[in-house]
C-alpha cells in the first residue's frame, strides 16, 4: 500500500476526511492530524484485507477436496494494478442443492489460501493484446502482431516440495 500512502500524503486534510467518509464509510473527527487520518485509513484497509483472506479460505474450504487441494498464492492484478477483484466461482464442480457459490475478494499484492482450481481459473483469464508491426525500412505499419495478456497472475507461494506434491496429485486425478 505504499503507492496509496504516497497518494494520501499529497491530499489535503479535508479531501482525506471526505475520502474516508464517502468511500470507506469511516467517521473520523476533523480535529485529528493528517498523519493520524492516514494511519486510521491504512488500519481500516488492513482489516478489510485480513477479513478477505479469512473469507477466501473459508469459501475455498467448502469446495476443496483431494483433487482440488488448498494452496497459498499471491494475487496480482495485471489488468488494473492496485485494484481489488470480487467474484464467485464454484471451482467448476457445480453446486449441491442449497449450497451457496463461494465468493472471493482479492486485493492486489496480497496472499490467499484458496483451492488450486481458483488459481488455475484466474491464471487462464486473458485478453487480446494486439500490437502494430512497423517496417524498419519504411517506418510504415506492416501489420498486426496478435497476442494475449493475462488479466491476473496468481503466483504460488509454497515450498518446492509442496508444489511437486500438488503436481503429482493433479496428474493422478487426470488418469
Q: Is the pLDDT of residue 142 over 80?
A: yes
User: Which pLDDT value is given to residue 97?
Assistant: 77
In the chain, what is the straight-line distance between the N-terminal and C-terminal CA atoms, in Å? Answer: 44
What ranges make up the beta strands (E) of the chain? 70-77, 85-88, 103-106, 111-115, 126-128, 131-134, 141-145, 148-150, 152-156
Q: What is the pLDDT of residues 16-68, one digit of tens each?
A: 888 888 988 888 888 988 888 888 888 888 888 899 888 888 888 877 777 78
CB 167 within 8 A of CB 159: no
Q: Is the pLDDT of residue 3 over 70?
A: no
Q: Is the pLDDT of residue 145 over 80?
A: yes
* pLDDT grade for 75, boundaries at 50, 70 and 90: very high
The Cα–Cα gap between 162 and 164 comes to: 5
List of residues 6+ apart from 24 with CB closer than 8 A:
41, 44, 45
Q: Is the pLDDT of residue 78 over 90?
A: yes
The Cα–Cα gap between 30 and 39 comes to: 14
Amino acid at each position: 500500500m505504499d503507492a496509496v500512502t504516497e497518494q494520501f500524503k499529497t491530499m489535503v486534510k479535508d479531501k482525506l476526511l471526505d475520502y474516508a467518509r464517502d468511500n470507506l464509510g469511516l467517521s473520523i473527527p476533523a480535529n485529528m492530524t493528517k498523519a493520524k487520518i492516514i494511519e486510521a485509513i491504512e488500519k481500516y484497509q488492513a482489516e478489510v484485507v485480513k477479513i478477505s483472506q479469512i473469507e477466501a479460505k473459508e469459501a475455498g474450504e467448502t469446495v476443496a477436496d483431494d483433487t482440488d487441494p488448498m494452496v497459498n498464492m499471491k494475487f496480482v492484478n495485471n489488468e488494473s494494478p492496485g485494484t481489488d477483484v470480487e467474484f464467485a466461482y464454484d471451482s467448476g464442480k457445480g453446486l449441491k442443492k442449497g449450497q451457496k457459490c463461494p465468493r472471493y475478494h482479492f486485493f492486489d499484492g496480497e496472499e490467499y489460501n484458496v483451492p488450486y482450481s481458483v488459481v488455475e481459473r484466474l491464471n487462464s483469464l486473458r485478453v487480446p493484446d494486439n500490437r502494430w508491426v512497423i517496417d524498419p525500412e519504411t517506418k510504415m505499419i506492416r501489420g498486426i502482431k496478435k497476442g494475449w495478456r493475462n488479466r491476473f497472475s496468481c503466483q504460488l507461494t509454497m515450498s518446492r516440495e509442496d508444489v511437486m506434491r500438488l503436481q503429482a496429485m493433479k496428474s493422478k486425478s487426470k488418469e
